[in-house]
Structure 1
Amino acid sequence: MLWFILPAHAVTPQSEQIFKQLSQTSLVRAQFEQQKKLASLNKTFVSNGTVVFSKTNGVLWQLQRPVQADLIVTPKKLVQKTAKTMSQLDVSKSPYGSVATLFLQLMSGNQAVLDQHFSIAQSRITPQGWSIRLMPKSTLFKKLFVQVDIQGQQYVNQIVILEQGNNSTTINFSQQRSQPVTLSANEQALFQLAK
Structure 2
Amino acid sequence: MALLLLFASPLTLAFTLEDLKNQLSQPAVVTGPFIQEKHLRALPQPLQSKGRFVLARDHGLLWLLQTPLRQDYRITAKGIARRDLSGWQTLPSTSAATEQNRLFFAVLQGDSSGLQRDFDLDLTGEPQHWQLRLTPRSLLLKQVFTHIDISGARFVERIELHETQGDRTLLRMPESTSAESLDDAERNDFAE
* Pair in the same fold by TM > 0.5: yes
What does residue 155 of structure 1 align with? 155
Deviation track 1:97-154 (CA, whole Å, cap 9, x = no partner) reads 111332211222222211122111x211147511110011123322221111011011
Based on CA coordinates, which of the two structures has the bigger radius of gyration? Answer: 2
Quote the offset at 1:42 in angstroms.
Answer: 4.1
Indicate conservation of the 8 Å contact 2:35/2:48, yes or no.
yes
What does residue 47 of structure 1 align with? 49
Partner of 2:34, secondary structure, is strand
Partner of 1:61, secondary structure, is strand
For structure 1, list consecutive stretches of 5 or more residues without a partner in the other structure. Answer: 1-11
- Change over 3 Å in CA distance of 1:13–1:53 after alignment to 2: same
Partner of 1:186, secondary structure, is helix
Indicate conservation of the 8 Å contact 1:36/1:170, yes or no.
yes
Deviation track 1:53-95 (CA, whole Å, cap 9, x = no partner) reads 101001111010001011111122111224478542465x422
TM-score by length of 2: 0.83
Q: Distance in 1 between matches of 2:118 and 2:127?
A: 29
For structure 2, list consecutive stretches of 5 or more residues without a partner in the other structure. Answer: 1-13
Query: How many residues of Structure 1 are paired with residues of Structure 2 in the alignment?
Result: 179
Indicate conservation of the 8 Å contact 1:90/1:97, yes or no.
no
Quote the offset at 1:13 in angstroms.
Answer: 5.5
What does residue 183 of structure 2 align with? 184
The alignment-based identity, stated in percent, is 28
TM-score by length of 1: 0.81
Q: CA RMSD in A?
A: 2.2
